[in-house]
Structure 1
Amino acid sequence: MSKKNRKTSPSILSLTVPAALLVALGVTLSAKLGLFDPVGPVSGLVIQGPETVIIEPRQMRYRAEGHFLKRGLAVDAPLVDAALAAPFAITKYQVSRGEYRRCVEDGACQAPEAGGGGEDVPVTGVNHSDAESYARWLTAQTGEVWRLPTDEQWAFAAGSKFPDDALGIDAESDNPALRWLADYERESSRQKSPDPHPQPRGTFGENEYGVADVGGNVWEWTRTCHRRVTIGDRGEVLKEQPACGIYVVDGKHRASMSFFVREPKSGGCAVGVPPDNLGFRLVRDDRWYARMLYAYERRRAGAV
């Protein structure tokens, strides 16, 4: 009986040796691909990252992003249930002029196109590419991986200040003009900003999670692509067309901007009334494989 057991039961050695070989192979390939290369400076002083707020896991219902159509007519985006599985860190404040200026001085960022005020005023007049350049620069300076937030991450961080852009008027109502009129009135009211000039950090207060200036007069770039979605009578998605040259910007209301636009009032707003100003804040990628993923993405981008 004991002989039979010895023949059929795998030994610890027979299990651990193949696993160790696989791990060694993975490490070797990762090293050859440069996935273990440091994301920060090889030498020199590493600066401390910006102040962050931790957004803890929870569930949330919010209005989906996109331009939704049913039977060829615009409709409100559906409410979707989202679950945040793991906490993430987001900068408490929007990136300031002073912080961004250091990136410009290092030659890693383009100078902003507009905006004034002191060092603690959010940087504005920056496009999506500028924001990504700053994220790469900050990653190199801190050794931590920084990214633009997704629209969903921004919604979780905004909490009760996340806007609901629904009109609440069914496109199939007896009078379709009601929706057009409601949309016109809403867009007209959004153009009446009492003071569009960027204000110092903290002017618009903090939300329930400690994130500052959510819903102020600086809209924030995300890395979520705008999309056009056709749905059926039961709300099922029939067709989805992402447009990844256009990105969602979040603020007092959602808008979608072409990636190259720095001054929203000059044009380039794909959907909705243009924001007053374009700025951004960042999230820190604390996933255990964040550095390897970042190194892989950078190598792939460099190969294109």
Structure 2
Amino acid sequence: MIIVPAGKFEMGGDRDDWAAPDERGNRIIDISSFSVSQTEVTASQYDACVRARACRAPLFKAENDDYPVTGVAWRDAQSYAAWLSAQTGHRYRLLSEAEWERIARAGTQSRYWWGNNLDPAFGNFGDEYCCRGAAQGLDIFESIAPVRRFKPTPEGFHDLYGNVWEWVQDCYGNYGHAPQDGSAQDPADCRVRVVRGGSYFLPSGFARASARYRLTPGARRPDVGFRVAMDLGTP
């Protein structure tokens, strides 16, 4: 886990001419300190929860233990966080959408933390960047990559851009009612949840820091996983 310090950052895609309408409406978020897993939850980590009978088995079997778990619904990610909390005595949960964008931006306002142009050294993007020379040998994966195979952000986070989408806590909606403190937009009647980060078979535009996508909470896709946050000062 990596501790993210409290502070303010600008969230949204108003500075990016690739931004979709649901990314626009930039606002300043004043976020509290929190802790986040360095990588997506791996198949091995999730399997421990399955073996404890606290989590449903994923729909897809990972190629190896160090691959991110996929084929898990938003509710499965909730089950894993609850189990991990019970095991450790600390409160684990999904990141809020604002928290996810904070660590993806790493203090920048560009499309990706390293700039506005694709760099395959930093993520596992779609097939047009894989295995055909553009990646210069850095992206050798036709589908999902193991965690930690690409360069991390300056704070040490791996695989935020590409590889697999990541469930976050938020209900999908416009930013007009989103909390200014970085907490999740999470009404009780939510029917559609947010995923962030893009995936291995989509163009890198889907993996921009402000890019958003939505899925029903029960969706179990081969390109969707999650990472966890931990509240500081718990239990």
CA distance in 2, matches of 1:78, 1:225: 17
CA distance 1:200–1:190, change in 2 (3 Å): closer
CA distance in 1, matches of 2:176, 2:3: 35
1:158 to 87, 98, 104: 104
CA distance 1:230–1:158, change in 2 (3 Å): closer
2:58 to 109, 112, 115: 112
Deviations 1:210-238 (Å, cap 9, x if unpaired)? 1111112111101111114789xxxxxxx
Letter in 2 for 1:61: E
CA distance in 2, matches of 1:258, 1:162: 29
CA distance in 2, matches of 1:263, 1:61: 31
Segment of structure 1 superposing worse, 123-132 or 249-258: 249-258
Aligned to 1:61: 10
Asked whether the 8 Å contact 1:159–1:208 carries over to 2, the reply is no
1:245 to 187, 191, 194: 191
Deviations 1:118-152 (Å, cap 9, x if unpaired)? 11111011110000000011011111110001001
Residue 162 of structure 1 and its aligned partner are, at CA, apart by 8.2
**3-state SS of paired residue (2:194):** strand
**Ranges in structure 2 where 5+ consecutive residues have no aligned partner:** 14-20, 113-124, 131-140, 178-186, 198-206
CA distance in 1, matches of 2:109, 2:99: 11
User: Hey, which of these two has a bigger chunk of helix by percent?
Assistant: 1
Percent of paired sites with the same residue = 30
**3-state SS of paired residue (2:171):** strand
Aligned to 1:211: 157
Aligned to 2:212: 254
Letter in 2 for 1:54: I
Asked whether the 8 Å contact 1:115–1:198 carries over to 2, the reply is no
Asked whether the 8 Å contact 1:159–1:209 carries over to 2, the reply is no
Aligned to 1:80: 27
CA distance in 2, matches of 1:91, 1:54: 9
CA distance in 1, matches of 2:22, 2:226: 29
CA distance in 2, matches of 1:136, 1:78: 33
Asked whether the 8 Å contact 1:196–1:217 carries over to 2, the reply is no
CA distance in 2, matches of 1:104, 1:216: 26
TM-score when normalising by structure 2: 0.69
Question: Are residue 225 (structure 1) and residue 174 (structure 2) matched?
Answer: no
Letter in 2 for 1:81: I
CA distance in 2, matches of 1:75, 1:254: 8
**3-state SS of paired residue (1:129):** helix
**3-state SS of paired residue (2:173):** strand
Asked whether the 8 Å contact 1:127–1:259 carries over to 2, the reply is yes
Q: Does 1 or 2 have the higher relative contact order (CA < 8 Å, sep 6+)?
A: 2
**3-state SS of paired residue (1:245):** coil
- Where do 1:165-180 residues align within 5 Å? none
- Where do 1:17-166 residues align within 5 Å? 52-63=1-12, 77-84=24-31, 86-160=32-106
User: Hey, which of these two has a bigger chunk of strand by percent?
Assistant: 1
Deviations 1:254-296 (Å, cap 9, x if unpaired)? 21110000017xxxxxxxxxxxx11011111124xx54xxxxx
Q: Which has the larger radius of gyration?
A: 1
CA distance 1:132–1:87, change in 2 (3 Å): same
CA distance in 2, matches of 1:262, 1:210: 28
Aligned to 2:202: none
Deviations 1:196-219 (Å, cap 9, x if unpaired)? 622111112200111111112111
